[in-house]
Amino acid sequence: MSLISLHFFVMYQRSRVALFNLFLRHFSTQFATLLRLSAHGAHTTLPSYTKLPSGSWRVQIRHKGRYVNETFLRRDDARRWATDTEARIDRGEAPLPSRIARLETFGDLIDLHIADMCAVGKAPRRSKAATLNMLKRKLGKLKMIELDRARLIKFGRDRGAEGCGPVTLGIDIGTIKLVLGHAAAVHGLPVQVEPVDLARIALKRLHLIGKGQERDRRPTQEELDQLICLFDTNPHQITPIGRIIRFAVATAMRQEEICRVTWPDVDTRTRMLTIRDRKDPRKKDGNHQRIPLFAATGYDAWAIIEEQRAVRRNEDPRIFPYNGKSIGTAFRRGCRELKITDLLTCSPFCPRL
């Protein structure tokens, strides 16, 4: 009887061990989940709000191992930022500073891009600044989510109806993509650039974006002689437009470049002129070029420099100390007076165009 009792006792103990192991295997995943939740709770707390002596509110967030804090004037603003920040952390995204998180419209993104470029010494120049101002005027009030493919196509159609050329519209669309890409890459804002690419494809299919027509219009020698005579014989014309036209044809320089070169840029020994920061589609700063001053076009560039030296009356370091815009205005007025058509302001100033 003792052996039989011992046998049953051993079988009973083995069944208990088996049932216990089965229990552990069945509930091990639930235990692991509880452990993970416990660990998560140790690193996650509700946002804390503290009113500062100044009256502002400081919000502190400890969420999934991340800690961020910001200060706001109003508690509601702090609460909204905290909610958005926790949602970004849950999605695996980096928290945004309050200054960036408050940006809502495309105009805000344009201002952000300009501020960032100015901070690194790359402020937009005249052409880009004009494009950004136009975009802010036409699209600046749109929220970022509203700037989708359909809205961009409508913008392109409206610009085309206004007389905007295919090259200019392509620059406008490219600038929109530049602003959106800057916001996404530099500041991590949740903006999409894919709609811009789709809109560009659509506008190309609609022939609203494309290559520009190459101009081959050049002033004839007779037209140049008429213009030079008109300005040289006008007693009320103070700026020597005729001399500037001759110098432009002799050097193929743009009117802004002519009004920017200085006397130290002239090498009297080699008769060479250094044009600083010459226009370039990719890099303008530091793009210095040297050109010879000779008479290859019928007008002697060096002789014109000497003429200008003889009439120098002030300490202005510029060779031609005049306003380029005023020169362009006078040139167009002369073309209208002589009934010379289809001649752009810069055509005789830059025969390459």
Do 226 and 326 have their domain in common? yes
Tell me what pLDDT residue 344 has: 64
Q: Which residues contact 179 (CB under 8 A, 6 or more apart)?
A: 106, 109, 110, 113, 132, 135
How many residues belong to the chain? 353
- pTM of the predicted model as reported, rounded to 2 decimal places: 0.62
Cα 26 to Cα 19, 32, 36, 219: the distances in Å are: 11, 12, 17, 92
Does the residue 66 lie in any domain? yes
Instruction: Classify 45 as helix, strand or coil.
Output: coil
Per-residue pLDDT of the chain (353 residues; tens, 9 = 90+): 455 665 555 565 666 656 555 555 555 555 444 444 444 444 556 777 777 888 877 777 777 767 776 776 677 777 777 777 777 777 766 666 656 656 778 999 999 999 999 999 888 888 899 999 999 999 999 988 889 999 999 999 999 999 898 999 999 999 999 999 998 888 877 788 999 999 999 999 999 998 876 667 788 889 999 999 999 999 888 899 999 999 999 998 988 899 999 999 999 999 999 998 887 666 666 678 899 998 888 899 999 999 999 888 788 899 999 988 889 889 889 999 999 887 765 544 444 33
Does the residue 6 lie in any domain? no
Do 243 and 173 have their domain in common? no
Does the residue 54 lie in any domain? yes
Rounded to 5°, the CA angle 36-39-45 comes to 125
Token pair, residue 40, equals 């998560």
Tell me what pLDDT residue 227 has: 92
Residue range(s) defining the domain that contains residue 306: 221-338
The number of distinct structural domains making up the chain is: 3
Q: Which residues contact 253 (CB under 8 A, 6 or more apart)?
A: 247, 261, 275, 291, 349, 350
Do 264 and 334 have their domain in common? yes
Do 130 and 196 have their domain in common? yes
